[in-house]
Amino acid sequence: MVNILLVDDQPSRLLSYEAVLAELGENLVRAGSGREALARLMEMEFAVILLDVNMPDLDGFETASMIHQHPRHEKTPIIFVTAVHITDLDRLRGYHLGAVDYVFVPVVPEILRSKVSVLCELYRQRRELERLNRSLEKTNADLADANAALQAEKANELHALNQVLERTNRELAGTNATLQAEIAERRRAEERLRDADRRKDEFLATLAHELRNPLAPIRNALQLLRTGSPEVTGGALTVMERQLRQLVRLIDDLLDVARITRGKLEMRKRQIVLRTVLDDAIAAVRPVIDDARQTLEADLEAADVEVDADPERLTQVFANLLNNACKYSPPEARLSISARCEDGRAVVLVRDEGIGIPAPQLEQIFDLFVQADTSLERARGGLGIGLTLVRQLVHMHGGSVAAESAGGGLGSTFTVQLPLSAARPIGDTRSGEAIPAAQSSAMPSARRRVMVIDDNRDAADSLSMALRLSSHEVRVVYDPLKAREACALFRPEIVFMDVGMPGMNGYDLVRLLRGEPWAERALIIALTGWGQETDRQRSREAGFDHHLVKPADFEEIEMLCNAERREGGGVASGVAHG
Ligand code: ADP
């Protein structure tokens, strides 16, 4: 039900309107004047207003104007009721004021009813539309809210997803970088392997060359010896000795490198005076320096300091460096070795004015088998292991070694740094370090009964010949199984015995011989290619008095022949074991 406002100053007309409109079943509200109408409008909303034009006080037009000024009612349709015939101008005015229609008195009930009914219906529809609008707006707002929530949720999800993606990306980048690094490392490793392989091939070629090199002069010298001519004998022997020394050195170096690589090199460190080592190294290379008519300046005042070292190994270090200085310098060049102390370290410099070392190779030359010049025209021999040995030995002494050179042709300097000994200073070590060879030469030479047991006939014969030349009485046995009997007959004072022999090895044989009465005071000496401390130990345990590594120095052999004899199972004094 909607509200209909009936405005007329005549109650009878109001009554008639009510009668006409009652049928519509709407709520009819009366107002007797314009003012009362305005009052009603303040109270409620109307679907349509039936407004009398001619009223005292406020007439219909004025009332309509005031009604439509109010925002709530500006759209409320007004039907003007007028008794008199009005002009078109007035009618227009009415339309301007918001009138939607006119009815004339006397009112035709059906017309009034249908007009009001239409407007009521319109009002209802408008209301419905408004309601729908509102609900639509609400739905819209709800939708907007839902949308916003969805957007927010989506944004959150997106953000989270983004973060996950970023993290994954970062992880991927990390993995990628690691992979790249691994690939690079692998490439470098492959490169190193290829390099090592190439160097190994070069080394094998060089080794074959270096081993074959001394053989030619030895064979030539042999040829000369065979002529029996006394003029050439001396020279031939010198050649053979020199070449042999060269071969032995080569093989020693090789064995040392192999031992160091397998971590098997034994160091016998003790507190020594550095200078003794430097003097020994100089003495060792003196012959080659003299051969090349080079001069060596030594400034070793500062080397009278103690270091903890294996003297033999440290001598090897400086002999190698001096040997290189000599080898890589022209004849008559000046070489130098000098020492100084700084910051608790001894610093030894070996200088030459030779071919020098190109800068890119300064580091590499310490690597195994690396040689700065690998061309076929290379004038100097060598295997590229000397400096590897130097570096490893120096490291084993807690020191460091470095090479410097101003470049090709400008000479080289090798600097070795060694920590000084922290222990209490020692006295004059040199007087304490007896050199067995020196002792032996002072000893009177005696004629001994010497037995040589070796299945290698050349080795046995050459040794026995040398011993005979030294006026010893010598017997040779090639077959170890016949040794016991031969010894029982000959009763040797000294026995030189090979260890690796077919039929019976030296260890078993010496055990067997030790049970014989003649052997009680005899010196039995092992002659073998094995020189490790474990080998020496094994010899001692088997019953050998000494252990000589082939090729044994003849001076050492001679010294043992001159040593005092065994005293009831003990080792003769004055002779270093091995
Ligand atoms: P080798 O002398 O047997 O080749 P080393 O390991 O002693 O092996 O030396 C490696 C390389 O370092 C040599 O081949 C040589 O190129 C270079 N080298 C070593 N010492 C010197 C030096 N004093 N002057 C110039 N080059 C040197």
Give the per-residue pLDDT at 429. 36
3-state percent helix, strand, coil for the chain, nearest multiple of 5: 55, 15, 30
Q: How far is the CA of 517 from the centre of ligand 1 (A)?
A: 56
CA 242 to chain centre: 47
129 Cβ contact list (under 8 Å, min separation 6):
none
Residue 553 alpha carbon to ligand 1 centre in Å? 28
Atom of ligand 1 nearest to the CA of 387: 6
Rounded distance from Cα 108 to ligand 1 centre (Å): 137
- The tens digit of pLDDT for each residue in 282-297 reads 998 998 999 899 999 9
Tell whether ligand 1 has an atom less than 6 A from the beta carbon of residue 387. Answer: yes
Contacts of 434 (CB under 8 A, 6+ apart): none
Residue among 252, 288, 326, 365 whose CB has most ligand 1 atoms within 8 A, to mutate: 365
> Distance between CA atoms of 472 and 548, rounded to whole angstroms?
19
Q: Is 365 in the pocket of ligand 1 (CB under 6 A)?
A: yes
Name the pairing type of β-strands 400-405 and 27-31.
Answer: unpaired
C-alpha to C-alpha distance for 493 and 467, rounded to whole angstroms: 13
Q: Which residues contact 396 (CB under 8 A, 6 or more apart)?
A: 260, 265, 267, 313
Ligand 1 centre to CA of 324 (Å) is: 6
**pLDDT (tens digit, 0 to 9) for every residue of the chain, 578 residues total?**
999 999 999 999 999 999 999 999 999 999 999 999 999 999 999 999 999 988 988 888 899 989 988 888 888 999 999 876 778 888 888 888 777 888 888 889 999 999 999 999 999 998 899 899 899 999 889 888 888 988 899 899 999 999 999 999 999 999 999 999 999 999 999 999 998 888 788 777 777 767 776 777 788 788 788 888 887 788 888 878 878 887 888 888 888 888 887 777 888 899 999 999 999 999 989 989 998 999 999 999 999 999 999 998 999 999 999 999 999 999 999 999 999 999 889 999 999 999 999 988 898 899 877 777 655 445 566 778 889 889 999 999 999 999 999 888 899 999 999 999 886 554 433 333 333 333 333 344 578 999 999 988 877 887 888 888 788 999 999 999 999 999 999 999 999 999 888 889 999 999 999 999 999 889 999 988 777 788 889 999 999 999 998 778 788 888 898 877 666 544 433 333 43
Return d(Cα 112, Cα 115) in angstroms, integer: 5
| Residue located nearest, by CA, to atom 8 of ligand 1 | 384
Q: Which of 324, 329, 391 to mutate to test the pocket of ligand 1 (most atoms within 8 A of CB)?
A: 324
Ligand 1 neighbour 317 (Cβ under 6 A): no
**Residue 321 · residue 350 · CB < 8 Å:** yes
Separation of CA 260 and ligand 1 centre (Å): 19
Q: β-pairing, 412-419 with 334-342?
A: unpaired
Which pLDDT value is given to residue 227? 80
Return the axis-axis angle of helices 506-514 and 533-542, rounded to nearest 10°.
30
Distance from C-alpha of 527 to C-alpha of 315, rounded to nearest angstrom: 25
Is the distance from the beta carbon of residue 253 to the nearest atom of ligand 1 less than 6 Å? no
Residue nearest to atom 4 of ligand 1 (CA): 384
- Ligand 1 atom 16 nearest Cα: 372
Distance from Cα 328 to the centre of ligand 1, integer Å: 7
Q: State the distance from the centre of ligand 1 to the C-alpha of 372, rounded, in angstroms.
A: 7
What confidence score (pLDDT) does residue 439 get? 35
Give, using CA atoms, the residue closest to atom 2 of ligand 1: 382
CA atoms within 13 A on the CB side of 192: 9
253 CA from centroid of ligand 1 (Å): 14
Give me the phi and psi of 217, to 5 degrees please. -60, -35
Q: What spacing in Å lies between the alpha carbon of 400 and ligand 1's midpoint?
A: 17
> What's the CA-to-centroid distance between 375 and ligand 1, angstroms?
14
Q: Is 543 in the pocket of ligand 1 (CB under 6 A)?
A: no
Q: Of ligand 1's atoms, which has the minimum distance to the CA of residue 356?
A: 25
Residue 44: is it exposed, middle or buried by C-beta count within 10 angstroms (0-12/13-18/19+)?
exposed
Q: Which domains does the chain have, with CATH numbers?
A: 3-134 (3.40.50.2300), 154-265 (1.10.287.130), 270-422 (3.30.565.10), 443-561 (3.40.50.2300)
Q: Answer whether 551's CB lies under 8 Å from 539's CB.
A: no
